[in-house]
Amino acid sequence: MSDPGHAPDAEEGGPPELSFPAPGRATITLNRPRHLNRLHRDDLLVLQDHFSQLASDTALRVLVLTGRGRMFCTGFNIEELGAAAATGGGSGDPQLFEHTVDALEALPVPTIARLNGGVFGGATDLALACDFRIGVTGMELRMPAARLGLHYYGSGLVRYVSRLGLPAAKRLFLLGETVGAGQLLLLGYLDALVEPAALDDEVERIAASLLAGAPLALQGMKQSLNEVARGELDPVRLRAREQRCATSADLREGLAAFAERRAPRFEGR
């Protein structure tokens, strides 16, 4: 994937863009580079539309989420946040950001956050909702909720604790420190840290590995692992996913390919 950050006529940007660069692959690009890809209410609604479309796309195998320009995202537009607080939550969905991030986490296909730059505020949770996060040297993260007087929403707190552990979650939320790329790797926030020039190669490596897996098994285990992390594993749902894979054409193909010492050709059925 080429970095979309240098198109001179796209500096102003607009809502997040959805593209399909190759069969089985989708990319969502946050698209307000002049404002460091801050998210407006309309952007969240567009993201929800994109996620809804992708959730029903049976041909999709992997989604990459990235930003245009030098930052991944600076979170929700602070001016709109202030307006919502002044009106007691604003109009429409008062949990719009939370519901948007939850919709990303709930996508059945594996997701990769291509962190082309800094991650601030609610964007830290947006990236955390992805299954993998690839960052670049020089990037930073900051969660300023406590410095704004904001109590963060529940599902975001659960994501932080279940993915990073309680000590890391307290450090990031309560201290509000700016954390550099190396520390983010040590904390487990990043799965890989590379030089900017190597970002696309690393994203491609992980995407290719995901594309080589059996779609039903990947999707089922993603759901089950997330439920385990949240303490919500339902044995009935788990057994149903196991059974679906056990009777699938993908399993038969995987076993045949192993016996024949060839690459499997999975079809997601």
- Cβ neighbours of 246 (radius 10 Å): 9
Q: Is 69 within 8 Å of 33 (Cβ atoms)?
A: yes
- Three-class DSSP category at 107: coil
Phi-psi region of 107 (alpha: psi -120 to 50; beta: other; left: phi over 0): beta
- Written as six digits, the tokens of 82 are 């202030």
Please report which residue ranges of the chain form alpha helices under DSSP H.
41-55, 78-86, 96-105, 123-128, 145-148, 154-164, 166-170, 181-187, 199-211, 215-230, 235-246, 249-260
Strand partners, 25: 22, 62
Walking along the chain (269 residues) 10 residues at a time, the average pLDDT comes out as 48 90 97 94 97 96 97 88 52 82 97 98 97 98 94 96 97 96 97 98 98 96 95 94 95 95 92
Q: What pLDDT score does 190 carry?
A: 98
Report the alpha-carbon distance of residue 125 to residue 120 in Å, rounded. 9
**Other Cβ atoms closer than 10 A to 37:** 29
The domains found in the chain, sorted by start residue, are: 8-211 (3.90.226.10), 215-260 (no CATH)
pTM above 0.85, yes or no: yes
Pairing of strands 71-73, 62-67: unpaired
237, 203, 228, 216: which is closest to 25 by C-alpha?
A: 203
